[in-house]
Structure 1
Amino acid sequence: MVEITSINGPIVNARYENEYPLMNEYVYVGKKELIGEIIRVTKDEITIQVYEDTTSLKLKENVKLTSSLLSAYLAPGILGSVYDGIQRNLFNLEERVVRGAKSFPLNMEKKYYFKPSVKNGEYIKRGQIIGLVEDNNFIYKILSEFEGKIEDLKEGDFNIKEIIARVGENSVRMLTKRPLRITNKIKRIPLDEPLITGQRIIDFMFPISKGGSASIPGGFGTGKTVLQQTLAKYCNADVIIYIGCGERGNEMTEILEEFPKLVDPRNKQPLMNRTVLIANTSDMPVSARESSIYLGITIGEYFRDMGYSVALMADSTSRWAEAMRELSSRMGELPMEEGYPADVSSKIASIYERAGKIETVNKEIGSLSIIGAVSPAGGDFSEPITMHTKRFTSVFWALDKTLANARFYPAINYLNSYSNYIENLKQWWEKIGNWSEIRQEFNNILSKDEQLQKIVKLLGIQSLPEEEKLTVYIAEIIKEAFLQQNAFDEVDAFCSTEKQMEIAKTILLIFNIFKQGMLQKIPVETLKNQKIINEFIQSKYFIKNDEYEKYEDLREKIKQYYENFIKNYGE
């Protein structure tokens, strides 16, 4: 018997007798059977975090143990779904209104055509593909959870709970169940391929690898949500997991309305066909916010193990950490910096360490990339969540309020951001062009420009010598033509790697031409204020990704123009 002894918001304590509760066990609390999870076990008492509103819950009501860990249900049909933090379907009105309402998160009646990829009597390994299922133009690879000889293998239309084969004494179904907080041990492989996002400042300057981890810290109004949505739409991952963790209700409503309308640029099908949305707004129970990220990661690992590349966007991990802070304080735990629990660092690590790239049993490459937004109060990057996140992620895209106010988007500060994947991705990029040298040149110019801007603001650009004016003017071109990008422009919203390289080469050509002009005593300002420079800057809006060869013609045009201009200057 397990009986409630105290209730403190979402934290419930219960005394047990003749029972053996498990840590992280899934339980039903009270007469309404509210969903909860055991987070502390003592000699005769358990502490439960309840994932629903505990209003009207009474002392001495019973808690029902299940001997099962909080888990995600995974099967064909999961793509296109919208869940809350504990995988309740948000399209089901009853589950959003009635406390304790329960229904299975997947359609158990729908039939899928299962086509075997192995034969009866064949010895199979755990994780091996035994068959394929197609749904909404996506191929699900059904993996065996067991090792041994496969028997009674069937082909045809089945629902996800029907038996499709046997391995020894074990029944095989399309449905599988995975604990949220336990990850399979994986053998990681090098992260040598970029996750292409179509954002020049990311792909070219601060790239992320497939299977890598990144953080997007930024204060209110810096464009975190728009950037996450842009990445979700355009990145070259096979599956998208988007988690709205503690977001404002109106923002999540906009996402829930807009995502089903988005068209996948890769196949012109609805983007939702390869997306799972997890919505946990700020007015939902705070404890469910804590589990939402683990749910998204578990779903991502399901597709990673099939050999797909998965991109997970979490917006925002700060509100996830705030949920942990509230739960910790209700449990009376000793607070650390800014009231966060002592284990907040290890909890953040437990999220980002689940990113990775693997070679599956089937010799396919799967990856899970995790991109988490951080919302530091007042844009203070020295606060604990931002600092701990920075420790455990390899890419840091620092959003800047000043850039956002200047309508410079993406508002990524090109001086405070960094990527630790540069060496990993060098070989991949060098197939397209001389990436590392151009990138380093851009960084040098932007760094020098930042130093010179202090003088420019005090005395004006005319106070600088010509050589330093050149640095400032080229930095302006880099910012305007390359780093700045319009997420709402049909052509500029996504920029292919080939087009990125062509734009970068053109900027370097202009840089070298201006140096030649300076040798002829031509003022840099005169060289910059030519119409052809503006034509180049605007080219990103009318030269499409599949027309990037046009930049060769544009470079030749710029070269010819300035040769004549320098030759005839002063005549």
Structure 2
Amino acid sequence: MEKKLKGVTVSINGPVVKGSSMEGFKAREMVMVGKKKLLAEVISLEKDMATIQVYEETEGLKISEEIISTGSPLSLTLGPGMIGNVFDGIQRPLEDIKKISGDFIGEGIGLMSLDREKLWEVKILIKEGDYVEEGQFYAEIQETNLIVHRLMVPKGISGKIKIAKESGNYRLEDVVAIIDTFGEDYNLKLYQVWPVREPRPVRERMAIDRLLITGQRVLDIFFPIAKGGTAALPGGFGTGKTMTQHQLAKWSDADIIIYIGCGERGNEITEVLEDFPKLIDPRSQRPLMERTILIANTSNMPVAAREASVYTGITMAEYYRDMGYHVAIMADSTSRWAEALREISGRLEEMPAEEGYPAYLPSRLAQFYERAGYVKTLSEREGSVTIIGAVSPPGGDFSEPVTENSKRFANAFLALDRKLAYARHYPAVSYLNSYSGYVKQLKHWYYENVSEDVLELREEMLYILHEEEKLNSIIQLVGEDVLPDEQRIILEISRVIKRGFLQQNANHKEDTFVPINKQYEMLKVIHHLYMKAHEAVKLGLPLSEVRSSDIFEEVIKMKYTVPNDDLSKIDDLYAKIDSYYSSLKQRYDMKREGVN
């Protein structure tokens, strides 16, 4: 249903505006609509008619209200003050909005971003007469206790420093240096502006060959994520997507975390906003928010702002990457972002593709994931952006378009399993349906930092888990008793792998984060148990004694009983396993000799 007004057509169903007499405007240009100056973006131009997506509610627009050009695309103000802040999808700080309009985001607030009045203690790194190039650091600010903010010469700017101020306290708008760019002066302030849909430049894209250490055993060894890599985290309702991302945000060895809530339910975003400020960074014992940025968009916010939120997050990530930081993005969830694309596409009356999504959904997802990477920056430092995108397939159907296309473009597919989640097995990452394309790329990293046989152990454990799945199909038909003991011991070892290695307790101090060396040692113990038990079964020892509950349970509980900082107790487990099976074999030999 459309309401015809003079000079402008407004879609009553949502924030899409069609304005006539749009000569002189450009596609992707940011504009302000009406007396309230609602923020919007031109998304298409056809002769003198433009289609504009508005980031606020359009209700109340009147006849002949003007559309004001800003002359620039949707852009972010990048500077100190972003870390520890909570923004909406277009970088407006929610705390500042609350002071202006209360608990609800008012219309026509304008494009607020960073605090222009706050004084920052600035260390100037350049002096008069220096020659500077794009990407070079000209000042440093201790943004939080954990992050040093390095101010960079913007892209395309180079020349000799004409004026450089002394180190001291300055506001964002203060000019701290002037560059003579071959005849014209360029003022260096404490921020730069960057369009969200344009990737930031780098010197070189490097090989992705370093593990993003998460402390989660199912990820670090079985389905690894690389620094600068991409991962999709699909799962139906209640499978633990948000909880898994919380663990990754808290424990991964990224320097900076950017959490994008792009359209999830309000209660889930509320949980994030309440939980994150309370979290303590385990590495520094400081609040986690001192290296975190939150972008909050709920499902009842305008779809245009939801669509923009992922670009806002990735642009911030690239900015900190260019300082030489390793940044991890948690997008929760890309399904809601795709739904915003679908809604906007429908309002534009575009021809729908599968399940109503626009035909360009795959290319948009590809463009998003392609902005990840491990790079050498313009300042010759190494930095990375790792993207972990949650996917919320309706009913847990992984064949729907967003999950299928995420599988195409993300190199790690961490499928969350409903059965595991309902059995309180967390992280509920399916060991049957998940995969990681980074295993081969990380081969040398594992050799150098863990052990040369860690990937062989991984393959053997995965083989046991897959064999167990086949045996379970047989058991459902004919029962476990018909299986030979060699196959039944596989079932027992699978239980040890699942309960003792893959299942993790986020509330236990020894189990919430596990160092990579302990993960390897745990896997070796399980493998040793398997070899000894398998050998005993082949000798004909009774299965009831081979699968001694005491030995198996001790191996399962080693995740709690072996401290992360003291692995000496691992040797005790080896000794107990060897001792038990030696005595079992000895008793069996004696019994057999007595019979003979």
**Aligned residue for 2:261?**
244
**Aligned residue for 1:149?**
160
**Aligned residue for 2:89?**
85
CA-to-aligned-CA distance 1:116-139 (integer Å, 9 cap, x gap): 334432222211122221122121
Q: Pick which of 56-65 and 447-456 moved more.
A: 56-65
RMSD over aligned Cα atoms: 1.5
> Partner amino acid for 1:50?
V
> Partner amino acid for 2:303?
V
**Aligned residue for 2:148?**
139
Instruction: Measure how far apart 1:366 and its partner are.
Output: 0.2
Instruction: Measure how far apart 1:156 and its partner are.
Output: 1.4
Q: Secondary structure at the match of 1:133?
A: strand
**Aligned residue for 2:475?**
456
CA distance in 2, matches of 1:546, 1:117: 40
1:361 paired with 2:378, answer yes
CA distance in 2, matches of 1:221, 1:395: 21
Question: Are the aligned partners of 1:262 and 1:271 in contact in 2 as well (CA < 8 Å)?
Answer: yes
Instruction: Measure how far apart 1:327 and its partner are.
Output: 0.8
**Aligned residue for 2:242?**
225
CA-to-aligned-CA distance 1:197-218 (integer Å, 9 cap, x gap): 1111111001011000000111
**Aligned residue for 1:492?**
511
Q: Secondary structure at the match of 1:333?
A: coil
> Partner amino acid for 1:564?
S
Equivalent of residue 483 in structure 1, options 486, 489, 502: 502
Q: Residues 148, 544 of structure 1: CA spacing in aligned structure 2 closer, same or farther, 3 A cutoff?
A: farther
CA distance in 2, matches of 1:302, 1:336: 34
Question: Are the aligned partners of 1:86 and 1:291 in contact in 2 as well (CA < 8 Å)?
Answer: yes
Q: Residues 525, 152 of structure 1: CA spacing in aligned structure 2 closer, same or farther, 3 A cutoff?
A: farther
Instruction: Measure how far apart 1:78 and its partner are.
Output: 0.8
Q: What TM-score, normalized to structure 1?
A: 0.97
**Aligned residue for 1:126?**
134
- Identical counterparts, % of pairs: 46
Q: Secondary structure at the match of 1:301?
A: helix
Question: Are the aligned partners of 1:5 and 1:60 in contact in 2 as well (CA < 8 Å)?
Answer: no
Long gaps (5+) in structure 2: 1-5, 592-596
1:167 paired with 2:176, answer no
Question: Are the aligned partners of 2:365 and 2:405 in contact in 1 as well (CA < 8 Å)?
Answer: yes
**Aligned residue for 2:313?**
296
**Aligned residue for 2:457?**
438
CA distance in 1, matches of 2:519, 2:62: 62
1:113 paired with 2:121, answer yes
Instruction: Measure how far apart 1:526 and its partner are.
Output: 2.1
**Aligned residue for 2:223?**
206
The number of aligned residues is 569
CA distance in 2, matches of 1:28, 1:84: 18
**Aligned residue for 2:50?**
46
CA distance in 2, matches of 1:11, 1:361: 39
CA-to-aligned-CA distance 1:212-268 (integer Å, 9 cap, x gap): 000011111111111111111111100000011111111111110110010000100
> Partner amino acid for 1:12?
V
After superposition, residues 29-108 of structure 1 pair within 5 angstroms as 29-92=33-96, 93=98, 94=100, 96-102=104-110, 104-108=112-116
Q: Pick which of 36-45 and 516-525 moved more.
A: 516-525
Long gaps (5+) in structure 1: none
**Aligned residue for 1:503?**
522
Question: Are the aligned partners of 1:4 and 1:63 in contact in 2 as well (CA < 8 Å)?
Answer: no
1:528 paired with 2:547, answer yes
Equivalent of residue 329 in structure 2, options 312, 325, 328: 312
> Partner amino acid for 2:81?
G
CA distance in 2, matches of 1:88, 1:284: 13
Q: Pick which of 128-137 and 280-289 moved more.
A: 128-137
Q: What TM-score, normalized to structure 2?
A: 0.93
CA distance in 2, matches of 1:333, 1:528: 62
Question: Are the aligned partners of 2:37 and 2:110 in contact in 1 as well (CA < 8 Å)?
Answer: no
Q: Pick which of 417-426 and 184-193 moved more.
A: 184-193
Equivalent of residue 180 in structure 1, options 196, 200, 204: 196
After superposition, residues 321-332 of structure 1 pair within 5 angstroms as 321-332=338-349
> Partner amino acid for 2:342?
R
Equivalent of residue 445 in structure 2, options 411, 419, 428: 428
Q: Pick which of 534-543 and 91-100 moved more.
A: 91-100
1:195 paired with 2:203, answer no
CA distance in 1, matches of 2:115, 2:548: 63
Q: Residues 287, 564 of structure 1: CA spacing in aligned structure 2 closer, same or farther, 3 A cutoff?
A: same
Instruction: Measure how far apart 1:548 and its partner are.
Output: 2.8
**Aligned residue for 1:11?**
16
Q: Secondary structure at the match of 1:131?
A: strand
CA distance in 1, matches of 2:477, 2:457: 31
Instruction: Measure how far apart 1:566 and its partner are.
Output: 2.4
**Aligned residue for 1:340?**
357
CA-to-aligned-CA distance 1:499-550 (integer Å, 9 cap, x gap): 1101001011101111221233113342222312212211212323212343
Q: Pick which of 117-126 and 254-263 moved more.
A: 117-126
Instruction: Measure how far apart 1:568 and its partner are.
Output: 2.5
Instruction: Measure how far apart 1:76 and its partner are.
Output: 1.1
CA distance in 2, matches of 1:343, 1:238: 33
Question: Are the aligned partners of 2:242 and 2:332 in contact in 1 as well (CA < 8 Å)?
Answer: yes
Q: Residues 6, 110 of structure 1: CA spacing in aligned structure 2 closer, same or farther, 3 A cutoff?
A: closer
CA distance in 1, matches of 2:266, 2:354: 29
Q: Secondary structure at the match of 1:163?
A: coil
CA distance in 1, matches of 2:318, 2:381: 14
1:274 paired with 2:291, answer yes
CA distance in 1, matches of 2:584, 2:122: 69
Q: Pick which of 514-523 and 306-315 moved more.
A: 514-523
Question: Are the aligned partners of 2:201 and 2:378 in contact in 1 as well (CA < 8 Å)?
Answer: no
Instruction: Measure how far apart 1:442 and its partner are.
Output: 1.0
> Partner amino acid for 1:129?
F
Instruction: Measure how far apart 1:59 and its partner are.
Output: 3.5
> Partner amino acid for 1:36?
A
Question: Are the aligned partners of 2:39 and 2:111 in contact in 1 as well (CA < 8 Å)?
Answer: no
